[in-house]
Amino acid sequence: MDTERYRTGSKRFWAAVVDGIVFMPILLVDRYLITSATNKFVLLTWQTFSIFIPVFYSIIAHYKYGQTVGKWVTGVKVLDVTETRNISLQQSFLRESVYLLVELTGFLYYVVSLLRSGEFQYRYIETNDFASNFVFVWTLLELITMLTNSKRRAVHDFIAKSVVVRKE
């Protein structure tokens, strides 16, 4: 087996950094609105967009191109476990299913607590804290899994029957 093809750990890390930079403008607008917006409808609409756009970006980019902008820049691609084709839309959803579930749970918690209290800023920050804590633990599990198998597949790759490889 050509193990060099699967040595993507550092490339995946830098791909995440690049994708973070791609979303920096959204984060900046998010921070501005959360501290200054007074129109609750605008704020809720924006927060819905900013919470879900990164997950859907990943789903669509992996399905359509096999990679996000970050993966493209760093030279890695997501393929079906057979390594003969790109992943399907279903596989792409499965790859992001844990993140999507966390964001959806956090968002529903946010909306319910918001309807009860009306405190937009505090509740939004609390929701982000909830998601951040889970994402940290999930990322550790992903890293441990990735380091313990020959194809460097993380948990989400096993869930979706996918593999990340260096582009040739």
Question: Domain residue spans in the chain?
Answer: 3-166
Give mean pLDDT, residues 138-160: 94
Average pLDDT, the chain: 88
Q: With the C-alpha atoms ordered 149, 153, 158, 162, is the resulting torsion angle positive or negative?
A: negative
Q: What is the mean pLDDT of residues 34-46?
A: 77
Burial of 132 (0-12, 13-18, 19+ CB in 10 A): exposed
Angle separating helix axes 9-22 and 40-65, nearest 10 degrees: 140
Give me 62's structure tokens: 């992996």
pLDDT of 17 reads: 95
The answer to whether residue 142 scores a pLDDT higher than 90 is yes
Q: What is the pLDDT of residue 91?
A: 98
Could you tell me which residue, 136 or 126, shows the higher pLDDT? 136
Q: For residue range 92-126, what is the model confidence (pLDDT) as tens digits?
A: 999 999 999 988 988 888 777 777 776 665 566 66
The residue behind tokens 């970050």 is 70
Residue 1 has a pLDDT of: 61
